Chain A
Amino acid sequence: QLQLQESGPGLVKPSETLSLTCTVSGYSIKTDYYWGWIRQPPREGLEWIGSIFHSGTAYYNPSLKSRVTISVDTSKNQFSLNLRSVTAADTAVYYCAASPGGTYFRFDNWGQGTLVTVSS
């Protein structure tokens, strides 16, 4: 069964880079899935950050595109999120999720989420 688990620092300083990794288990990352990141700021709705295919083809939310990079490491069955120049507005629970190919980023499987706080 496909499972995802986020990992990374829970506290990031303003202006620095937020880095998270999602480990995929029970399934090869080199399959017909898109691997994505979604976040939820406190008391707000979900926000799609971006999604990547194992080939490296990535799609990003236009509102975050200038600060975001999503990458994939097939040797470790992991994919990662880098969000640069963070501010308090980037404080959120960050989820990684899996979308079967051809579903236009429908998220069938989710990680439990990890809270990242941006504060000095």
Chain B
Amino acid sequence: QSALTQPPSASGSPGQSVTIYCTGTSSDIGGYNYVSWYQHHPGKAPKLIIYEVSKRPSGVPDRFSGSKSGNTASLTVSGLQAEDEADYHCSSFASSNVRVFGGGTKLTVL
């Protein structure tokens, strides 16, 4: 059982927006602004797309955005494209120098 809770699946049509939520506790998401999101296409290496809650690494489209409220972080993908179909994993730094992950959300572009 993962430390952070994500819905197992999400979906949207091309051009639409979809938001994926990630729920933790005050010991991880709620206590630190070190939330990351990773995009993971099957058989490939995960790719960092959001860090420190809302920052995007160079090269990541601004269609991807992140935010946090209390113990819940969220990832919004706007203007859905076919290549956005992938698994998305949230992660947070946690107390005692630990990194925790969510169970992953499979995003389907309809």
**A48 — nearest CB in chain B belongs to which residue?**
B99
**What A residues does B96 contact at CB under 8 A?**
62
CA distance A97 to B105 in the complex (A): 21
Interface string of A85-120 (1 = CB under 8 A from B): 000000000010000000111111011110000000
Q: How far is the CB of B97 from chain A (nearest CB, A)?
A: 5
Residue contact B97 to A46, C-beta cutoff 8 Å = no
Separation of A20 and B98 alpha carbons in the complex (Å): 21
B51 touches A62 (CB 8 A): no
Q: Is A107 within 8 A of B2, CB to CB? A: no
The size bracket of the interface on B is 20 to 34
- Which residues from B are CB-within-8-Å of A112? 44-45
B98 adjacent to A45 (CB under 8 Å): no
Other-chain residue from B46, B51, B101, B104 in contact with A48 (beta carbon distance below 8 A): B101
- Considering the chains assembled together, what is the distance between the CA atoms of A48 and B99 in angstroms? 6
A108 to B56, CA, bound (A): 11
Q: How far is the CB of A105 from chain B (nearest CB, A)?
A: 4
A45–B38 contact, CB under 8 A?
no
B101 touches A45 (CB 8 A): yes
Cα A111 to Cα B104 with chains together (Å): 19
Tell me the bound Cα distance from A44 to B34 in angstroms: 22
Taking a contact as CB atoms under 8 Å apart, the answer to whether B97 and A106 are in contact is: no
> How far, in angstroms, from A44 to B57 measured CA to CA in the complex?
26
Q: How distant is the Cα of A77 from the Cα of B91 in the complex, in angstroms?
A: 27
Among A38-76, those with CB < 8 Å from B are: 38, 44-48, 51, 59, 61-62
Task: Judge whether A105 and B46 touch: CB under 8 Å.
Answer: no
B interface residue numbers (CB < 8 A to A): 2, 6, 32, 34, 36, 38, 44-48, 51-52, 57, 89, 91, 93, 96-104
Residues of A within 8 A of B (CB): 36, 38, 44-48, 51, 59, 61-62, 95, 103-108, 110-113
Q: List 18 A-B contacts (CB under 8 A).
A: A38-B101, A45-B2, A46-B101, A47-B2, A48-B91, A48-B98, A59-B97, A61-B99, A62-B96, A95-B45, A105-B93, A106-B48, A106-B51, A106-B91, A107-B48, A108-B48, A110-B46, A110-B47
